[in-house]
Structure formats: structure tokens, C-alpha cells
């Protein structure tokens, strides 16, 4: 009975976001306890603390792009748009077009990528993040980065990983721009 209820939730997610939920259904069918732990990860990934939605989705998008530029990225793009982030901002985050981003979102894009690269320059940016949003904001960014990485790794492990492809932001199709240490505009 509980598996049926969870499967209905997954099918609703599939319909709402046009997202392939088969990997989660496989987990649900094979091991209910494992599925419940995955739901715990979703609780972690939904934590926003006191972080505004723009910086929150900047961390989520850049973290997911780091490990996956396929369906998971499209899912986070759709969620960002649903959260009323302007399409031009979502496009700029995906494109890593720093010149088109407000300063707070550009800071989170840069910080997220430096954290993922284990770059010591993240320490300087961390201070700026904390000065804007305090420790609560830093934790929200940390949860966004950490939890976003779970899904691509899990999907590839279970055989559901997808090769890189374009992401749609309303009427525009983009190939997510990867981080490099070279200066970007």
C-alpha cells in the first residue's frame, strides 16, 4: 500500500516535470528502506534556509551541471522557472554568463564551482557568502551543492545516466557551459 502511494507521487513528478522517474521506481520496488532514505535526500535538497531563490537555484544548477548536463539539469531548470526565476537569469546561470547575472547570483555561481573544484579561492568567496546570508545561507548553499550531486551519481550507478544534451529554457535550447578556471564574462 505504501509503495503504491509513493509510486503515485513519483508519477505526479513525472507528469509535472516531464522527468524520467524509473530509477526511483526501481529503488522503491527493490528496497523500500533505500527509497525512504532517498526521500531524506530530497528533504535535504529542498532546504532553502534564508537564501533567496536566485542564489539557491544558482547553486543547484551549477552543481548539477558539474556532474550531469542531461535530464537532471533540465529538471532543475524547470524547477527554477517554476520558482519564478526570470528565464534570462536561468539562461545566464546555465550559460555561465556572469555579466548577465546580478552580483549575488554571480557570487554563488563562482563559489559553487570553486567548492566543487576544491579551489582554495572558495575561502575568500565563502566570507562574502556569509556576510550576505550568514551561516544559514552558507548551509543552504552547501546542502544545494551536496544534494544535487547525489542524483546523477545514483542514476549513472543504476544505469539511468544520460549523455550530455541541450537544456531548454522556455524557447531557447542551450548546452550548459562547464566551469573552467579561465575568466568568463
Give the pLDDT confidence score for residue 183 in this predicted structure: 44
How far apart (Å, rounded) are the C-alpha atoms in residues 156 and 138? 28
Contact present, 108 and 125 (Cβ < 8 Å): no
Residues 6 or more apart whose Cβ sits within 8 Å of residue 8: none
Is it the case that residue 118 has pLDDT exceeding 50? yes
Is it the case that residue 122 has pLDDT exceeding 80? yes
How far apart (Å, rounded) are the C-alpha atoms in residues 46 and 143? 9
- When mean pLDDT is compared across 30-34, 51-55, 60-64, 171-175, the lowest value belongs to 171-175
Average pLDDT value for residue range 116-139: 97
Res. 68 pLDDT band, cuts 50 70 90: confident
- When mean pLDDT is compared across 25-34, 70-79, 108-117, 157-166, the lowest value belongs to 157-166
- Percent of the chain past pLDDT 90, that is, above it, reads 78
Give the pLDDT confidence score for residue 168 in this predicted structure: 77
Amino acid at each position: 500500500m505504501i509503495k503504491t502511494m509513493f509510486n503515485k507521487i513519483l508519477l505526479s513528478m513525472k507528469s509535472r516535470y516531464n522527468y524520467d522517474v524509473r530509477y526511483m521506481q526501481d529503488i522503491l520496488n527493490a528496497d523500500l528502506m533505500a527509497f525512504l532514505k532517498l526521500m531524506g535526500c530530497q528533504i535535504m535538497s529542498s532546504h532553502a534556509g534564508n537564501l533567496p531563490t536566485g542564489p539557491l537555484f544558482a547553486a543547484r544548477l551549477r552543481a548539477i551541471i558539474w556532474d550531469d548536463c542531461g535530464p537532471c539539469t533540465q529538471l532543475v531548470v524547470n524547477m527554477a522557472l517554476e520558482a519564478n526565476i526570470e528565464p534570462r537569469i536561468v539562461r545566464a546561470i546555465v550559460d555561465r554568463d556572469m555579466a548577465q547575472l546580478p552580483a549575488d547570483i554571480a557570487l554563488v555561481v563562482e563559489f559553487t564551482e570553486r567548492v566543487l573544484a576544491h579551489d582554495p579561492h572558495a575561502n575568500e568567496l565563502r566570507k562574502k557568502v556569509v556576510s550576505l546570508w550568514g551561516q544559514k545561507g552558507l548551509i543552504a548553499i552547501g546542502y544545494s551543492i551536496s544534494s544535487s550531486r547525489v542524483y546523477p551519481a545514483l542514476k549513472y550507478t543504476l544505469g539511468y545516466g544520460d549523455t550530455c544534451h541541450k537544456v531548454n529554457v522556455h524557447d531557447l535550447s542551450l548546452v550548459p557551459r562547464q566551469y573552467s578556471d579561465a575568466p568568463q564574462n
